[in-house]
Amino acid sequence: MRIISKVINKIFLSLVNFILVLNLFVSCSGQDTVENPIEVSEIKSDNSNLVSETDFASDEIESEASELSKQDLIDDYNQFWTILKENYPYYEYLAEKGMDYDGLMETGATQIKRISDAPGLAFVLNQQCRQLGNFAHLAVVDGNTYSIYKNILENGTEEEKENYEPWLKYISDDVTADTYELMYPESETDSINSTESVEYDYPEIRTRYIEDCSMAVFIISLFDYNIVDRDSGVVEDYIEELYSEGKSVENIVFDLTSCSGGADNYWAQNIVKPFGGNWEWEDTVYFSDSEVVNDYFVKYDYINLQDYDDLAESNIKIDDSINIKWYSEYVWNFQLGDEQYSDARRWVLINHNVYSSSEKFVRFCKETGWAELVGSNTTGDGSGPGPVFMKLDNTGLLIQFSADIAFNDDGTLNAEYGTSPNYLSDLGEELDRCIEVAKYGPQK
């Protein structure tokens, strides 16, 4: 994605840089195959059992609906761990934090004996990703995510297809297409992008007005790609409605305590744009020296990668287990004209549910001063171009994870520590705390 410089008024319609939601976290692969894949026993400790064909009884693995052999499933399971070890930037970092890879892989090896097809393998791998905390978007790509990229492949503009070429090469793969058709029938995935589905399935922005502190509150549950246009104008329309009723608006609150991400252009168009003004935010992200980084970002001229060794001294705290080779500076440049509603104080309510694209918005707010944050630390991982995909050869299942690494202003790892609020509150009391600070100041 070419987002070195974003002039938001010009790119709303072409920017499809979305961040995937909840348990859908995409995986990227530099190539369709991993040469000389290591077996599970080579990752695990010496006394652990290798997952091999002899571990399976024939009646446990064969199924009339499956054309995959038992060895195909074993190989894909082993390839999953090869991909993580060689490309997932946090593999060693999580090990240092106490992740028991031996135990996790042994559990997976036991589960693998009971499955017979790609959906079964997807279930096992998603269980393992959850055990890894879905850290940095790690997951098997689900039907919603697949359908969004498929829609770009089939209906996107030439510019969108060019921008997403590394991702779309996996979506267009025949084996992958067959597998996702099996797991998510066409009627289900197609409905995700239909107008009827958008109106029915996606929660609308809820609003309320708190009289005693002249506060307009917007409760937003999702920054979804499919509802960017639907929700356009909601913020300014409600504020204008309050003005027309003779009400004062001294505080404007965006409650994101149940918003786990979606699309960057959602918050850029529907939250930032209505308030006008000129804002510039530099988001520096880092990349390891891996095959997936080469295939997504070195090979394609999407971002300006620079050698990390050339970077001047900074306050980031890089753990020895994180290998950094490159960095890139994303500059978000909002040129939106005169400021609107400038008399109102802006707030964003946050907690652990804030993640991915909503995290990126929160970071923008804190680092530019666009709004003040109230609540508790977010879950983080909102930076850069979003998760990448890698493919398992036999089943075509796609694994996703973030290939970029981001740090907070205090130098801490964003994917682990998230973003901290300006004003701390207990969970579930974010709005009460915001009202308190707005009325009496932070010391009350």
Contact by Cβ (8 Å): 227, 18: no
Q: Is the pLDDT of residue 234 over 70?
A: yes
Q: Does 270 lie in the same domain as 181?
A: no
Range in 2-6, 362-366, 387-391 the model is least confident about: 2-6
Give dist(CA 287, CA 248) in Å, integer: 47
Q: Does 357 lie in the same domain as 247?
A: yes
Q: Does 223 lie in the same domain as 94?
A: no
Instruction: Give the confidence band of 235 by pLDDT, cuts at 50, 70, 90.
Output: very high
**Amino acid 188: pLDDT:** 53
Instruction: Give the confidence band of 253 by pLDDT, cuts at 50, 70, 90.
Output: very high
User: Where is mean pLDDT largest: 20-29, 181-190, 204-213?
Assistant: 204-213
**Amino acid 78: pLDDT:** 96
Q: Does 78 lie in the same domain as 103?
A: yes
In three-state secondary structure terms, 105 is helix
Residue 322: inside a domain: no
Residue 410: inside a domain: no
**Amino acid 87: pLDDT:** 97
**Amino acid 215: pLDDT:** 98
Q: Does 294 lie in the same domain as 146?
A: yes
> For the chain, what percent of residues have pLDDT higher than 70?
81
Distances (CA, A) of 354 to 335, 357, 358, 412, 416: 26, 8, 6, 17, 13
Task: Please tell me the pTM assigned to this model.
Answer: 0.80
Q: Is the pLDDT of residue 238 over 80?
A: yes
Smallest Cα–Cα separation from 332: which of 271, 386, 265?
265
Smallest Cα–Cα separation from 235: which of 259, 216, 222, 248?
216
Residue 323: inside a domain: no
Residue 3: inside a domain: no
Give dist(CA 15, CA 160) in Å, integer: 8
Q: Does 136 lie in the same domain as 91?
A: yes
Predicted confidence (pLDDT) per residue in 72-108, tens digit: 999 999 999 999 999 999 999 999 999 999 999 999 9
252 φ, ψ (degrees, to nearest 5): -125, 125
Strand pairing category for 215-219 and 206-210: antiparallel
Q: Does 251 lie in the same domain as 214?
A: yes
**Amino acid 101: pLDDT:** 96
**Amino acid 190: pLDDT:** 54
Query: What single string gives the DSSP state of each residue in 146-178?
Result: HHHHHHHHHH--HHHHHHTHHHHHHHT-HHHHH
**Amino acid 185: pLDDT:** 86
Range in 217-221, 257-261, 314-318 the model is least confident about: 314-318
Beta bridge partners of residue 26, listed in sequence order: 400
- Which amino acid, 304? N
Q: Is the pLDDT of residue 125 over 50?
A: yes
Range in 5-9, 122-126, 421-425 the model is least confident about: 5-9
Q: Is the pLDDT of residue 133 over 70?
A: yes
Range in 23-27, 170-174, 197-201 the model is least confident about: 23-27
**Amino acid 62: pLDDT:** 40
What would the mean pLDDT of 326-331 be, rounded to a whole number? 90
**Amino acid 112: pLDDT:** 92
Structure tokens at 239: 């504020």
Q: Does 390 lie in the same domain as 426?
A: no
**Amino acid 315: pLDDT:** 66
**Amino acid 203: pLDDT:** 93
Give dist(CA 288, CA 328) in Å, integer: 12
In total, how many domains does the chain have?
Answer: 2
Q: Is the pLDDT of residue 52 over 50?
A: no
256 φ, ψ (degrees, to nearest 5): -110, 20
Give dist(CA 182, CA 159) in Å, integer: 30
Smallest Cα–Cα separation from 270: which of 284, 259, 286?
259
Higher confidence at residue 383 or residue 44?
383
Smallest Cα–Cα separation from 267: which of 232, 215, 216, 303?
232
Beta bridge partners of residue 279, listed in sequence order: 334
DSSP conformation class of 279: E
Give dist(CA 301, CA 407) in Å, integer: 23
Please report which residue ranges of 299-373 form alpha helices under DSSP H: 357-368
Instruction: Give the confidence band of 195 by pLDDT, cuts at 50, 70, 90.
Output: very low
Whole-number average pLDDT of the chain: 83
281 φ, ψ (degrees, to nearest 5): -130, 125
Q: Does 310 lie in the same domain as 255?
A: no
Q: Does 18 lie in the same domain as 138?
A: yes
- The residue range of the domain holding 172 is 9-197+288-317+386-402
What would the mean pLDDT of 432-436 be, rounded to a whole number? 97
**Amino acid 29: pLDDT:** 30
Q: Is the pLDDT of residue 17 over 60?
A: no
Q: Is the pLDDT of residue 34 over 50?
A: no
Angle at 260 between CA 221 and CA 90, to 5 degrees: 175
Q: Does 296 lie in the same domain as 178?
A: yes
Q: Does 49 lie in the same domain as 99?
A: yes
Give dist(CA 341, CA 30) in Å, integer: 47
**Amino acid 444: pLDDT:** 55
CATH number at residue 364: 3.90.226.10
**Amino acid 314: pLDDT:** 67
Structure tokens at 391: 């493919």
